[in-house]
Structure 1
Amino acid sequence: MEWLTYLLKVTACTVLFFGFYLVVLRKLTFFKINRFYLLTTLLLSFIIPALQFEVKREITAVETEVLADIPEIKSGTQAPVQLIQPIMVEYQPEVRPKINWMVLMYYIYGGTASLLLFACLWRLFGLLKHTGSYTQNNDGLKLITKTAGFTNCSFFNYVFINDEDLSATDLSVLLKHEQVHARQYHSIDKIILMVFKAVLWFNPVIYLYDKALEQQHEYEADEITSTDFGNQAYANLLLKLAITKSDMPLIHNFVKSPIKDRIKMLFNQKSKNMKKLFYVLALPILLGLVYGFTVEYVDVALSNKVENKRTHLDYSNGKWIKGTVVKTRKDLESSFFTLKAIDKIYTISSGFVDIKIKIGDELNVFVVPNVIPPPPIGEPDRFKNIDEITYVPQTIKDLKGNSIYEYKPEKYAFLYEVNKARFATSKIKSIQKGANNKIEKIVLNDGLFTINLNLKPQNIKDNNFKTGDRVLVKFIGEKLISKNTYTTDKMIVLYSEPKKYLIKNETLYNRFYFNDGKQKVAAVKDEPVKVSEPVKPKIISFYKITGDTKNKISYMKNGVMEVLNNKLEAEYIEFDQGNNKIIAKNGVLKSLDGKSIVKATLFTLDLNRKIFSMKDVEGEYHAVNLGDTDHKKENLVNVNDNIEYSAEDSVKMSKDKSIIYLFGNAKMLYNKTTLSGAKIVYNKNNSSVMVNKATMISDDNKVVKADSMYFDLKSTKAKLYGADLNR
């Protein structure tokens, strides 16, 4: 696609430059300058679109709206009327087009350009065949007598003449004319135009360039020749030889250009030198094209407003990789491309971002691995041995350094957990200590937001944390005291990153967390209301919807739904009307007044059981019972009473939902046994699990790894292939 954009920009440049020549310069008698203008602007038309300049533009940071509390999810007394009935169509696998029109255009363009270049070379060889025998005169011209085909013309210092029809005077005039062509190297211009016409064969302006440049050649030669022999005698010779024609594009034929224009130009009054200032008028066109096609503005926050030294490229596990795109694919949930680098092949997931790349593109990509976040302090890292399957791109550039894609994360002072505790990642700006070396205040600043932690009432004494340390803080009771600055005296816990040290307020911590670090879900404030029938959601809008008529499942991209008196907005929504369930990926759940917001990478809503589950930004799973405040769970989305699963990339099911496919950092829990791998296939019919690149962790933390594994849930026996048992 880039080559097509480049050629279109080249075409735009030629149109503007030649338009200026046609309107302003064509009738001027400065033939050498006009020749230089035509050649120079033609070359600039190819150079300007290839340039790229980056201009940094300072902007003032915009204050970000603070997220409010978790929405209060209420059960309605009546089932709301569904506003939009989704159009159900029979689900069919994606049918890819048989013809790749972009590739076809590439071959048509390249094939035509190659044929034209070949034709140019063929004509050149055909011309050189006649240069074997010649007679050289005193002026260095090589005279070749030729009575048929192209005659009375020249190519460099080779002059093809038909002396049978020319007198001695006419011959001397013709040789003088062709001598000008040879000494001014006009044939080089002809070869350059032949190449450009092959490259821009689809552009009609390039043929006008060719005609105009040849015309300037003839005007220049006519002007010099007529000075020696007189305008009248020279004009008579032009008329005499006007009947001779040639279709050889590489030569300068004595009478090929329009005779009327050439004779008219002979008797025209010469342009005054003051009119040379007209050429200066081309500068605004040049500057406008350079500005429009080469300058790219990049917004940079003012240093005194946003001292963001930790840019979006500062990822501890990130790295630059250079490679070639060998595969691309899309599904309902994400887009992927495979990059072949020197060390290995990387599978990169770009989510719903439509990145303009194609197979064969050579890229520099800054990626971070799509991995499971670290567990809380004191909890074993059961998945530390799982291979990283997919990567997430942060910046994509071509080999010239041009930016193709750049991830720009939203900035918030803090986010909310399901238990309503606030959390933020920042750096320690300062630590204030009082008597007995007790910490009175810790000031955090992430480059944009400041959080003041007042710790004096807690009598904390700690020497592990230092100024500049990166930390994770959890707290409540914050107050906004100035723009982007908060203060609180209710810090729950402060972790170092990596999690080696901590400062904990035991009272608040026990209120919000269990001993293993898992969250205690906040109770629903409202009294439970009995509902006589299942709650039906309302579809508000969507970008694209497809469906499975048989199973009554709608698949929405960028959908918005009203669910249980709240609004759900997500990149991908799967609405199972038959089972009254909703699964949403990368979404936001808002109260209808817009004041309460919860973000999650995965939402699951069971409207029959009134269970709301989510995977929060830290990768932890939580559930809230929407109908019975005494019934709370903290688990993954249940397949049945014993099986729990999750996957980073995608989860797919067969039409009868008896087979479940998990892709990318897939995990399955069964009776305290954890299976994980690149791909997991769970078959409910025979209670079997197939795992690729498998890791099995038992309840006593024994680890077994294998290339593949077959696990029978009924007998709890596993067959291992390529197993590593030295653990």
Structure 2
Amino acid sequence: MSNYIVESTISLVILFFFYKFFLESEKTYQFNRFYLLTSLLISLIIPFISIEIFNEIQNIQSALEIHNKSNIPNSITQKNGINSGTKIVLILYLMATVVLVIRLINNLWAFRKKIKKNPHIRLHNATIILLDENTMPYTFLNFVFVNKQSYKNKGISPELLEHEFTHIHQKHSYDILFIEIIKIIFWFNPMFSLYKKALQLNHEFIADENVIKKHKNVSLYQQLLLNTIETKKYYLASNLNYLMTKKRFIMMTKKTSRLSSILKRATTLPILTLLIYFLCIDLVAQEKEKTETSFPHEDVNRYYEDVQVITQDRTGNVISNKKYTELTEEEKRRIPPPPPVPLKIKMTQAQFEDFKKQAKYAIWIDGTNVDNSELNKFKPSDFVFFQNSHVYKNARSQKFPQENQVNLYTETGYKEAFEKRNKKAGGTIVIRNK
């Protein structure tokens, strides 16, 4: 989870500051809105994207795939339970989340009450809610909330109403609801508040541009905005304040070079490419595998000395049935060699950090399944051998949904799992002549 938060925040920060320094001052408002919303989505999903690029390296040992299952401990136990510190953090997170959910519901309910209890008028595919309270116009979803007396006395200028209608027709409230839901889940990340403010300002730019195109009087419209600045705000509604108004005044009269606008928008592509490269691409050193295949002759004899060897012809008829010790040297050469003991290998720091990603790897240490966070108690040098196996989709389970399973071995675990030269094989080997 910590890796997800870090990678997501890195993406949010980079994309946001690119917007602030290169796009916000450009009069490409619809593109900017799309950019901000897309940046949020990309930052939420980018930690889940993993692109592996394999780079073969000469003369470096790597983890090998062992097909002899007897080398892997059969009894795998799972370490369960959450430590008390994690429980406290989880409880605090859930408490804060519940408070924010209640806050959102209360605000939505407040809007619903205003809509239900006050008279309304249908106009321009929107609904105007006439309030008794002294308020300037504000918008939520398909509703414009205005003071009833001001509206009936025509005290609300057409420019301000057009501004609010633009918010409705552009569906700006859905942007704010979307980011509010994200903020409930990631309330601890201040970047989402910055994105919300940037989106709200972008919405005002869009509405201002539409009003000016329609009414053609910038100075009059600016004077109207100055007269409507107030301190009361509805956090889900489109509203006005002084700092935003100052920026809006600047943008109303700003001229933007078409070439500059195109170049800045085009720059978003290399920014996204760099993000994907640094956050999604895993450079995996695919080293040439090297295993210990040599097995001293005396060790082979000791390993197989209790094995019964049956030789058959093509049809399955038994030709001979001997103990291994009774075989000739030529017959012994037909017996497959004992399973090799894998060479000890060292993982890199990058591999070790990658294994901490719980969404990608299921981890076993010395045959015991553990949470990925347990790796924080170790160093790469604590392990003398590891196996990284890809798990195909049809073989994954609810308990282990990861695409990779990694077995890590300490010195003690390695000896227990692999150093079995002194143990003898048993049973029967059947050799069929071709």
For normalisation by structure 1, the TM-score amounts to 0.39
Partner of 1:202: 188
Query: Matched residues in 2 for 1:120 and 1:114: separation?
Result: 10
Q: CA deviation at 1:225?
A: 0.7
SS at match of 2:231: coil
Partner of 2:124: 139
Deviations 1:57-91 (A, max 9, x none): 33335589xxxxxxxxxxxxxxxxxxxxxxxxxxx
Q: Does 1:159 align with 2:144?
A: yes
SS at match of 2:293: coil
Q: Is the 8 A contact 2:50 2:281 kept in 1?
A: yes
Structure with higher strand content = 1
1:21 to 9, 19, 22: 19
Unaligned runs of 5+ in 1: 65-97, 307-409, 426-457, 475-543, 545-556, 559-569, 573-584, 588-599, 603-614, 622-727
Q: Is the 8 A contact 2:126 2:142 kept in 1?
A: yes
Q: Does 1:223 align with 2:212?
A: no
Higher Rg of the two aligned structures: 1
Q: Does 1:411 align with 2:291?
A: yes
Structure 1 residues 148, 423: CA separation in 2 closer, same or farther (over 3 Å shift)? farther
Q: Does 1:250 align with 2:225?
A: no
Q: Is the 8 A contact 1:152 1:161 kept in 2?
A: yes
Q: How does 1:527-546 map to 2 (within 5 A)?
A: none
Q: CA deviation at 1:460?
A: 5.2
Deviations 1:495-520 (A, max 9, x none): xxxxxxxxxxxxxxxxxxxxxxxxxx
Structure 1 residues 146, 245: CA separation in 2 closer, same or farther (over 3 Å shift)? farther
Unaligned runs of 5+ in 2: 63-81, 305-326, 341-376, 384-408, 425-434
Amino acid at match of 1:6: Y
Query: Matched residues in 1 for 2:167 and 2:240: separation?
Result: 10
Q: How does 1:102-141 map to 2 (within 5 A)?
A: 102-132=86-116, 133-141=118-126
Query: Matched residues in 1 for 2:339 and 2:274: separation?
Result: 52
Query: Matched residues in 1 for 2:212 and 2:90: separation?
Result: 49
Query: Matched residues in 2 for 1:8 and 1:473: separation?
Result: 43
Query: Matched residues in 2 for 1:29 and 1:113: separation?
Result: 37
Q: Does 1:101 align with 2:99?
A: no
Q: How does 1:691-710 map to 2 (within 5 A)?
A: none
Higher RCO by CA contacts (8 Å cutoff, separation 6 or greater): 2
Structure 1 residues 424, 143: CA separation in 2 closer, same or farther (over 3 Å shift)? same
Query: Matched residues in 2 for 1:218 and 1:263: separation?
Result: 11
Query: Matched residues in 1 for 2:13 and 2:50: separation?
Result: 21
Partner of 1:617: 420
Structure 1 residues 424, 31: CA separation in 2 closer, same or farther (over 3 Å shift)? farther
Q: How does 1:272-287 map to 2 (within 5 A)?
A: 272-287=258-273
- Which segment is superposed worse, 257-266 or 188-197? 257-266
Partner of 2:54: 56
Amino acid at match of 1:148: E
Amino acid at match of 1:252: S
SS at match of 1:472: coil
SS at match of 1:412: coil
Deviations 1:359-392 (A, max 9, x none): xxxxxxxxxxxxxxxxxxxxxxxxxxxxxxxxxx
Q: Is the 8 A contact 1:152 1:160 kept in 2?
A: yes
Query: Matched residues in 1 for 2:61 and 2:185: separation?
Result: 51
Q: Is the 8 A contact 2:129 2:143 kept in 1?
A: yes
% identity of equivalent residues? 24
Deviations 1:641-674 (A, max 9, x none): xxxxxxxxxxxxxxxxxxxxxxxxxxxxxxxxxx
Q: Is the 8 A contact 1:31 1:219 kept in 2?
A: yes
Q: CA deviation at 1:33?
A: 1.1
Structure 1 residues 273, 217: CA separation in 2 closer, same or farther (over 3 Å shift)? farther
Query: Matched residues in 1 for 2:300 and 2:187: separation?
Result: 66
Q: Is the 8 A contact 1:29 1:271 kept in 2?
A: no
Structure 1 residues 620, 460: CA separation in 2 closer, same or farther (over 3 Å shift)? closer
Partner of 1:236: 223
Partner of 2:307: none
Amino acid at match of 1:174: L
Query: Matched residues in 2 for 1:250 and 1:471: separation?
Result: 72
Q: CA deviation at 1:153?
A: 0.5
Partner of 1:8: 6
Query: Matched residues in 1 for 2:416 and 2:208: separation?
Result: 77
SS at match of 2:338: strand
Amino acid at match of 2:120: T
Amino acid at match of 1:115: V
Structure with higher helix content = 2
Q: How does 1:24-103 map to 2 (within 5 A)?
A: 24-62=22-60, 100-103=84-87
